[in-house]
């Protein structure tokens, strides 16, 4: 009888190979697998407690160390050999194997916003989580701990061809530029030993990210002499120049024939400058994120930014009777695009698991940690870790753990197929 991976390759990545479906059904019914899923169900409260505790440890991008140390300690308490690499990622080994091959289950440590006080992250009477990071990426990190515990307490596999590697990585959000995953894939000695990546990012079971949306981030900085709002009136104003650049960029995309489409996006996420209402600023700065499924659109938007900034500075200086402004556009990040190849076993396995569990998930394109392995031609997918959530990247973020068990079972069955292939 063909192995699951042989069946997957022969079938070309579809959803209905009967031999693979039979393998998944048998795996789901196996005593060892049921022992592991039973552990998730029995220890729901413990998983929720871990989720709450880790989210109360502030971990904004570039400042993930305290949360990383906490995760490392938890992995060790659960019987895993855990250590931090040079990038700050926490790597946890299931056994003594250091030669590989490995299947990596990953989740990012960092958040866009952080709680000012631990109590800002809380659970209400209905059992819903509230606070920064509870949805992005509390569910992913809690899932890593759930697997660390269940894998030791109730091992789902008697034998496997690869070892499980748990990774809590840094630098996924904002200007982190996927640096944790970049290090793991490109610089770490582990990189060439990992044959597939299952990335947990956020809640839900309704999507499978198999294509990586590329993005670029820019900082526009305009400087000038500044001065008093009355006595130095007439000096060119950096804030005015930055504001005009933003306006021109937006108008060019939305009003002219260069309009944005559903496969691209842009966002000016921060604007800063000046010290008081009665002072002409000496500096103004804005940061822009542009994304697209098509590389030529990224290039077009990048060139447009340079053009409108130059135009905005020229206009501001032409109207000034005093000091002039100057501008610099600096790229502060770039996420590569990529896609999973047709017939990849990891996607075939996950779709077979979804069919077994009655999950209807759509294939999508997004920007996640999976961008890096996908851009390098590696096997990778990004999925949610179960439950429901919303309000990501805001202080109104929330998470409902109802349905977490299903997400964990989905991950478990997929991992078992990957590890035994």
H or E element in which residue 272 lies = strand 264-273
Domain boundary among 279, 308, 335: 335
Same domain, 251 and 291: yes
Same domain, 109 and 200: yes
- Residue of 253, 219, 238 lying closest to 313 (CA atoms): 238
> Number of structural domains, the chain?
2
Print the domain residue range for 413.
4-212+337-420
> What pLDDT shows up at residue 13?
41
Same domain, 115 and 163: yes
Q: What's the CATH code of the domain at 18?
A: 3.40.630.10
Integer Cα distance of 181 and 330 in angstroms: 23
Instruction: Report residue 119 CA to chain centroid gap.
Output: 25
Same domain, 81 and 166: yes
Instruction: Report residue 404 CA to chain centroid gap.
Output: 19
Same domain, 376 and 260: no
Domain boundary among 291, 314, 335: 335
3-state secondary structure of 81: strand
In 85-200, the DSSP E strands lie at: 90-93, 102-108, 122-123, 129-130, 163-169, 194-200
Low-confidence ranges of the chain (pLDDT < 50): 1-14, 257
Rounded to two decimals, the pTM is 0.90
Q: What's the CATH code of the domain at 272?
A: 3.30.70.360
Same domain, 43 and 23: yes
Same domain, 64 and 145: yes
Same domain, 91 and 225: no
DSSP codes joined into one string, 381-401: EEE--SSEEE-TTSTT-EEE-
CB crowding 301-328: b at 16 or more within 10 Å, else e: bbebbeebbebbbebbeeebeebebebe
Bridge partner list, 270 = 287
Same domain, 220 and 198: no
R_g over Cα of the chain = 24
> What pLDDT shows up at residue 321?
93
Same domain, 122 and 208: yes
- The residue count for the chain: 421
- Residue of 102, 106, 104, 93 lying closest to 193 (CA atoms): 102
Convert the pLDDT of each residue in 12-58 to its tens digit: 344 557 889 999 999 999 999 999 999 999 999 999 999 999 999 99
In 32-152, the DSSP E strands lie at: 81-84, 90-93, 102-108, 122-123, 129-130
Same domain, 380 and 242: no
Same domain, 16 and 147: yes
Domain boundary among 284, 313, 335: 335
């Amino acid at each position: 009888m063909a192995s699951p991976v042989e069946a997957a390759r022969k079938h070309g990545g579809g959803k209905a190979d009967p031999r693979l479906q039979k393998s998944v059904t048998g795996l789901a019914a196996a005593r060892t697998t049921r022992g592991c899923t039973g552990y998730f169900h029995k220890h729901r409260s413990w998983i929720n407690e871990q989720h709450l505790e880790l989210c109360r440890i502030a971990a904004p991008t570039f400042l993930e160390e305290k949360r990383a140390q906490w995760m490392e300690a938890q992995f060790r308490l659960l019987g895993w050999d855990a250590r931090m690499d040079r990038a700050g990622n926490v790597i946890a080994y299931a056994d003594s194997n250091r030669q590989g091959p490995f299947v990596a289950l990953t989740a990012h440590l960092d958040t866009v916003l952080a709680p000012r006080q631990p109590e800002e992250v809380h659970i209400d009477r209905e059992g819903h989580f509230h606070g920064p990071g509870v949805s992005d990426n509390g569910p992913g990190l809690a899932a890593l701990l759930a697997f660390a515990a269940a894998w030791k307490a109730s091992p789902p596999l008697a034998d496997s061809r690869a070892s499980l590697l748990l990774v809590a990585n840094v630098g996924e959000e904002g200007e982190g530029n996927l640096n944790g995953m970049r290090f793991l894939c490109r610089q770490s000695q582990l990189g060439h030993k990992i044959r597939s990546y299952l990335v947990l990012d956020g809640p839900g079971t309704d999507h499978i990210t198999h294509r990586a949306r590329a993005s670029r981030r820019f900082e526009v900085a305009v400087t000038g002499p500044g001065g008093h709002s009355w006595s130095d009136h007439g000096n060119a104003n950096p804030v005015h120049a930055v504001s005009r650049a933003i306006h021109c960029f937006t108008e060019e995309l939305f009003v002219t024939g260069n309009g944005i489409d559903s496969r691209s996006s842009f966002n000016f996420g921060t604007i800063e400058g000046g010290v008081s209402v009665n002072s002409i600023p000496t500096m103004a700065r804005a940061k822009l994120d542009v994304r697209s499924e098509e590389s030529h659109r990224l290039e077009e938007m990048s060139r447009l930014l340079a053009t409108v900034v130059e135009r905005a500075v020229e206009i501001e200086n032409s109207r000034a009777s005093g000091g002039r402004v100057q501008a610099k556009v600096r790229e502060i990040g770039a996420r590569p695009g990529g896609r999973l190849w047709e017939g990849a076993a990891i996607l075939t396995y996950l779709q077979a698991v979804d069919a077994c569990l009655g999950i209807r998930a759509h294939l999508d394109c997004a920007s996640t940690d999976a961008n890096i392995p996908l851009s390098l031609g590696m096997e990778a997918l990004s999925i949610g870790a179960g439950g429901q959530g919303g309000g990501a990247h805001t202080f109104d973020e929330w998470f409902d753990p109802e349905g977490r068990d299903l997400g964990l079972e989905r991950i478990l069955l997929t991992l078992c197929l990957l590890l035994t292939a």
